[in-house]
Structure 1
Amino acid sequence: MNMLEENASIGFIILDSNWHYIYANQYGASVLNRSPEDLIGKMAWTEFPAVIRHATYSHFHQARRSGEEVVFKEYVKLSNQWIHVNAYPVGDNLHVIIRKTEMLANHEAIENNLYQKYTDYVQDLITLTATDGTLLYVSVSIKGLLGYELEDMYGANMLSFCHPEDLDGLKKIFMTEDTDIRNEQGTISCRFLHKKGWYVWFENNSKWLLDEKGKRTQNLGIWRDISERKIGEERFLQAQRLGQFGSFERDLEEDTILWSDEMFRIHGLQPAVRIDLSKAIELIQPDDREKVWLATKQAVLSGVSDTEYRITRQDGEVRHLRSQIERVILDGGRIAVRGLIHDITTHKQIENELIQSKAKLEIAQEIAGLGHYEWDIIHNMVYLSDELTALFGCHNAVKQMPVETLIDSIHPDDQSNAKAAIKNALLKGSLDLVYRVVVREEVRILHTLARTSYDEWGRALCLFGTVQDITVQKQTEELLRKTEKLHVAGQLAAGIAHEIRNPLTALKGFVKLMCHASEESKMRYYHIMQEEFNRIELILGELLILAKPQAVAYMPHDPFLILEEVIQLLNTEAIMNNVEIILCGDSTLPTVNCERNQIKQVFVNVIKNAIEAMPLGGILTITSLKQGNDVILTFVDQGQGISEDRLPRIGEPFYTTKEKGTGLGMMVSFTIIEEHHGCISYQSKLGVGTSVNIQLPASEQ
């Protein structure tokens, strides 16, 4: 633009998108009989309304619509002269160059000069070669592209720089004997040797220059560096190999199809450029050929289509393919289809395996009484599996519901506990809950395990879990507990009979004494007899607790007091086995939220095992303490001990270290403590003794 400003015979004007003057040099304004200051900011057609009827108006609009330069001549009445106008759009603006007609000859010289500058500074490589490939001219860009100096190239044959694998294609340009085709031009891609030893990819657009007789004289070539594009193409081919998809193109008027190399590999054929249409159809399984034909027809009619089909390769292997097809218009208006083929055989195999696994899982869930659910926390909807729909007694059509509706189906006595457990699961990430539901007037016991998923900000998104009907299991466990209670009661019968016999003997004696005693003595005898009756009542009460079914009710109880009652019950048996029971530790323990009789059953099992582990007698030390939010009870005997290989199996059904034991006692004990959210642990050494730790959570104050 500086050159135009300095040249007094060339005008330069810029119009914005609304046809306002935003720039004009001195000559451009003078042609319009104005100064630059008079034009800036004014609209062209308002300032010069007569122009609307002249060539300038239509050509300016044409340049803006087409986006291409428009050249024309115009007579300017204001300055009484003919001008030559070039108008070309730049972004939203229109640039206008104005020259006197006598300047056109000088302009051609300027164009030649600009062409020389273009060939010197353009990034593409420009060559002019003789008919045998000898370089007659090469642009200076050769230095940046291939590292050669100009003097290295003049007189050299460009074929000698070509990659051996691309030489045949380049020779076709220079070595063909067909010289009858006039104005011959073409495009080819090949690699040229860089001065430092590597090869660079170029795309060549060439054109033969002919003499008056139509013979070739020189070849003008423009070579563009396409290395980055080739890298992209190679990556695309690699993606095809790794992703197992190929590309194709079919001209509907031809009997062959253009296939990529990966297409041939997928079909088990040797790579080529094209394949016969009949051969390609032959590979498709007969049952799927019509499907492929309809997909192609749909693509032609609507523009796109998508289908899946099977092929049988030459080696007999069946492959599943997915085809995505689109319609394209080729040169000359011919219709073609092109698209991608994806080998989805592996996906189909996995899909079939998943279908089979799902079917097996559904059968397993049905057998185990197991169902699953998913709570979308954001939308507050719970999605139920078919098994859960049946477990909750829902109508078959009901597959989802708000979480409040699901909680309402829980037994009223368990709802508050369920709500607290769900709230805790959203905070801590997991849920483990046993609760009851009433289904058609029948109480069922269910056990759910679930995990919470969160987003990147820690917001709870989903709670996914399983539900199992454990009604039969719980009934079986309760039966085992009752059986174990009766078993313990039977074992204690001798000691209890002895314990009752002593106060009965005393009572019989006092009855006889009362017949001849004074009133003062009778009152004293009465108080003694009352104490003996109370002792008998206590012993029988403890025995009934072991034998009589009790309703499960979790309430705060003093664990130390429960221990004292159990020790009083078992003290006679301990004495009979020469075992001394010592209770020490903190007698002011916090209460434990528990079912009193179940905890008693656990203490009875642990103490009886300790007594039986000391056949020659010994000391059983029971300590109690508060540790954090837990109550710890430790039972240490001086028995025979348990080997390390047997310790992990304590608590398994029917596993016992006693000769006549059933193994059910400790299994029941473990289950009871787990239901109370506590734990039991064993430590033992052969010949030294065993230590049993029972940990129970203290009640919330």
Structure 2
Amino acid sequence: MIFTPIKETFLQELIALLPAFMLQIWTMKPKLSGLLSNFRILFAFFCMVAFLLSMAFSYCTPDEFYYDFRIVPLLIGIMYTGFRSSIGLVAIYIGAHFLFFDQEELWNLPSDVGLYLIPIAMYFIPQFRVGDASKRVRIVTYMVVVGMIFSYVDYIVSVRSMMVQLDFSKVLFEVLFSGICMLTAYLLLFFIESILEKMSLQEQLHQVSGQYYQEAQKMKQLIDATPLGVMSVDKMGNVTAINDMMLRLFQVQGQVRSEDLIGKPFNYLRKHYGMEYPDIQLARSLQGEKTNAEVLQYNEKILISTISSIRNPKTDEVVGAVGMAHDVTELQMLRTEIGNLERLSLVGQMAASITHEIRNPMAVVRGFVQLMREKSDQSLHDYYRIVLEELDRANMIINDFLSLAQNRIVETEESHLHDIVNDLSPLLWADANLRGLGIEMRFAPDVPHLHLNEKEIKQLILNLVRNGMEAMNGKGTLTIETKRVKNVVQLIVQDTGEGIPQDTLDKMFEPFYTTKSKGTGLGLPLCLSIVERHKGKIAVESVQGHGTTFVVTFQADVA
């Protein structure tokens, strides 16, 4: 019979430690989240199961060995789970007495040590929850010592009340039981603290992993959004990161994604995808050498390649390399175009100076030709007329060229577009009558005043109207119209000629391009220059067989 209490005590100890075992199993569940937030409810349930099992096994134990560890999971559960859960645990604890014990045994309920320790345990809840592990051990030790004192006092009082002789073997067993109870409480506390620490670390790891994933995604999006091609390799030359821009710069074919190349050797990219990145420069960077930027000619692209070593900030050891490639093809083309424009500007300035100087001797020549015409025979007048017309034509070309070449700031004043057209109307009607054409004018009533240079706007209207008249070949009607569309004013010049082919339409505003036998090719470029100086826009629409429409748009607040 000596082994019976030992066996029962060992079983009770395992039951008391059951909350720790059950909690450990729960934390082993895969993809478990919110462990700490669910801890109180779970642990209260596990402690309830433990003290109910302990009471059930005690009920089946012979009376002389009526000892159990129910108090250990009860008190530990109260202090770990807080006031709300402890109320439920206490209610279940008291109700279990009526479930497991008969009416005679219920008279011993006031002598249950656990009932006296419950208020003390609830008093220590705030200190227990905010204290460290050592303080929690002290509180549990205090609770066990108080429980032992209550148990000894109860035993001595019961012995004296029944006037029986003190049983030293039972006292010895009480001491042994108290020691095992304290050890069980310490073990349960140690296991719970270890599990809580692991749960806390697991929660922190989950948070850090989430933050790391978010930061990694941000970095990937940043690298993908940059106009630079970026690729990094580890010390062994395996690709650790590569963005989509790098794949596009080197025209990697197929449905390959940057994720598919992570972990592949750099030579794999060269062999399977023909990625001609400077491997010698990459190898030197992996050796820790500083490398200079290189210019690559790749599939009609000009790339600037730079490669740098990646070092461990603590040991300064080379752990990899990062390479960047920048497409400077458009930049190089832009620089070339700027150089060409600068040269053209210089040539234009020289040509403007030369043409300006040519006008003076041409004026002298024209004067002498007129004088010679007056004093010459009548039969020679036709020759002089042709010479004068060609001199006038040359002078007109010079005037148009000078207007086009001069990049001046126009002086504007508040004017009304209708007034400018009305000032020109006698000249326009006279020109139309000579050609046998009609003119129709449509003026919108809500056109506001604009800031215009009247001289240049008159030149613009004359050029557009005369172009339209020449396109109609002596028949048809030319329409001059104004419109107000929101905050812009439109000047529309429309003819009923044969229209312009699309290939010609695309070149209308190029200098010196003309389809006329005696045209200079400077009229429409001059119109474009005038409109741009007024911060406006000019567009042309044409359908062959239905005529051509020029639309000039001015901002209502042009200054």
Q: Tell me the TM-score normalised to structure 1 length.
A: 0.32
Higher relative contact order structure (alpha carbons within 8 Å, sequence separation ≥ 6): 2
- Give the TM-score of the pair, scaled to structure 2: 0.39
Which is strand-richer, 1 or 2?
Answer: 1
- Richer in helix (by share): 2
